Amino acid sequence: MNSKTNKYSSKYIGRFAPSPTGPLHFGSLIAAIASYLDARANNGVWLVRMEDLDPPREDEGAAEKILDQLIAVKLQWDEEVLFQSTRLENYEDALKILTDNNYCFECACTRPQIKAMGSVYDGRCRDRPTPPREKFAIRVRVEDRSIDFEDLVQGNYQQNLKKEVGDFVILRKDKLYAYQLAVIVDDAFQDVTHIIRGYDLIDSTPRQIYLQQLLGYHTPIYGHIPVIVNNQGQKLSKQHFADPIDVNNGAKLIHQALKFLNLNPPEINSSAPCSEQLAWGIENWDVQAVPKLANIKENPLEIE
Ligand code: GLU
C-alpha cells in the first residue's frame, strides 16, 4: 500500500514487536527506545505488536508485564496493541496464497538431517510426490539470487537465500506459524513503513523481503541496531538470565540506553523523568550516529 494513503495518514509507521517470552530486559528496552525515537523524530506513528505465536516458549503474564514496563518508562504507543494470537486466519490466508502458487512444499526432515546438509536446507523434499506420513513442516522455495537492501544503520546488506539459508519453514511441524511468515503479514497489515530492531534479526530480513515479494507486499525500510551482549558475548535474553528491567530505576536505564545509541545525553539528565529524557532523545535522535556494529558489550555501560 502507498504509505501516504495508509489508515493513519502518516508517512511513517514504526513498531516494536516483542515476543512475550519474559519481561523486558535492558536489551529489549534499547530496541523499544530506538524504534520509538526514530518514529517520533519522524512525526510517525509507533505501534506495539505482541508476537505471542509460540505458546511453548512464552511466559504466563509476560505480555501484560511488558506493556506495564513500557508504560512505566513512558514509551507510549499509538492504537491498540495487536496480538498475533488473534491473527491466525490471516496467516492461513497468506499460506494458502503461497501454496496455491506452488511456492511451498511439505518436508519432514529432522534437525540432524539439516545439520548434515551444512545447515542450509538443500531442497530435497521440493518434488516429493506425496506428503510425508510423519509430522511435516511447510517450507517455501527460495531462489538462487541475491536479495539486498540498504539498512538505515548498517548500510548495504545482501544474502543469497539459496546458498545461505535454503528453503525455509513458514509452518512448523507443530503447526505453529513461523515468525518469518507472521511478521511480514502483520507488518503489511499494519502498514508498517520503518522497522528498527536488533541486529540479531538482520539475517532474517532477506527472507522477509522475499516473502513480501511473493505476496506482493510493500517492503518497509529496515534499520538494525547493535545488540547488547554480556561479557561472554551472549545476547541478553531469558535463556541467558538477563534481569527484567527495574522500572523504579527507569530514568537511569533510559539514560544508559540513550548512551548506548550514541546520543551523548548530558549527565545531568540521568535523573530527569523518563518523559523528559525521551523528549530529549527525540530532539537529538540521529539514526546515522548509531554504531554500525553487530554487538556491544554491556560492561562499558556499567549498567546498575
Ligand atoms: N518478536 C521478535 C523478537 O522479540 C522481534 C520481531 C521483529 O522485530 O521483527 O525477537
CATH 3.90.800.10 residue spans of the chain = 88-179
pLDDT in tens, 161-189: 999 999 999 999 999 999 999 999 999 99
pLDDT in tens, 270-296: 999 999 999 999 999 999 999 998 888
Predicted local distance difference test score (pLDDT) of residue 116: 97
Q: Which of 201, 221, 225 has the most ligand 1 atoms within 8 A of CB, as the residue to mutate? A: 201
pLDDT in tens, 106-140: 999 999 999 999 999 999 999 988 989 999 999 99
Instruction: Provide the sign of the torsion angle of the four alpha carbons 95, 97, 100, 102, taken in this order.
Output: negative
Predicted local distance difference test score (pLDDT) of residue 294: 85
Q: What is the DSSP letter of 264?
A: -
Tally of CB atoms within 10 A around 106 = 16
**Integer Cα distance of 84 and 75 in angstroms:** 21
140's enclosing H/E stretch is strand 137-140
Q: Between 233 and 58, whose confidence is greater?
A: 58
Looking at residue 75, its amino acid is L
Predicted local distance difference test score (pLDDT) of residue 120: 97
List CB contacts of 263: < 8 A, sequence separation 6 or more. 281, 284, 285, 286, 289
Q: Which of 148-152, 239-243, 247-251 has the lowest mean pLDDT?
A: 239-243
Which grid cell is 171? 509452518
Return the ligand 1 atom nearest residue 195 CA: 8
- Helices 88-100 and 205-215 cross at an angle (nearest 10°) of 70
Q: Is the per-residue pLDDT at 301 higher than 80?
A: no
Which grid cell is 85? 494470537
Q: Between 51 and 239, whose confidence is greater?
A: 51
Q: Is the per-residue pLDDT at 35 higher than 90?
A: yes
Given a contact cutoff of 8 angstroms between Cβ atoms, the answer to whether 195 and 208 are in contact is no
Residue 190 near ligand 1, beta carbon < 6 Å:
no
Residue 84 near ligand 1, beta carbon < 6 Å:
no
Q: What is the DSSP letter of 256?
A: H
pLDDT in tens, 184-240: 999 999 999 999 999 999 999 999 999 999 999 999 999 999 998 887 777 776 666
Residue 183 near ligand 1, beta carbon < 6 Å:
yes
Q: How many CA atoms lie within 13 A of 133 on its CB side?
A: 0
**Integer Cα distance of 103 and 159 in angstroms:** 19
Q: Which of 13, 16, 19, 239 has the most ligand 1 atoms within 8 A of CB, as the residue to mutate? A: 19
Strand partners, 150: 156
Which grid cell is 175? 503447526
Q: Residue 125 C-alpha to ligand 1 middle, in angstroms?
A: 29
CATH 3.40.50.620 residue spans of the chain = 13-86+185-301
Structure confidence at residue 262 as a pLDDT band (50, 70, 90): very high
Q: Is the per-residue pLDDT at 4 higher than 60?
A: no
Q: Please name the CATH architecture into which domain 88-179 falls.
A: Alpha-Beta Complex (3.90)
Return the ligand 1 atom nearest residue 15 CA: 8
Q: Residue 117 C-alpha to ligand 1 middle, in angstroms?
A: 27
Return the ligand 1 atom nearest residue 16 CA: 8
Predicted local distance difference test score (pLDDT) of residue 3: 45
Residue 51 near ligand 1, beta carbon < 6 Å:
yes
Cβ-in-10-Å burial (0-12, 13-18, 19+) of 232 comes to exposed
Return the ligand 1 atom nearest residue 21 CA: 4
Q: Residue 128 C-alpha to ligand 1 middle, in angstroms?
A: 33
**Integer Cα distance of 109 and 21 in angstroms:** 27
Q: Which of 46, 70, 183 has the most ligand 1 atoms within 8 A of CB, as the residue to mutate? A: 183
Give the fold, CATH level 3, of 13-86+185-301.
Rossmann fold (3.40.50)
Which grid cell is 295? 554487538
Bridge-based pairing state of the strands 45-50 and 13-16: parallel
Return the ligand 1 atom nearest residue 200 CA: 10
Given a contact cutoff of 8 angstroms between Cβ atoms, the answer to whether 71 and 39 are in contact is no
Given a contact cutoff of 8 angstroms between Cβ atoms, the answer to whether 223 and 41 are in contact is no
pLDDT in tens, 72-113: 999 999 999 999 999 999 999 999 999 999 999 999 999 999
Residue 201 near ligand 1, beta carbon < 6 Å:
yes
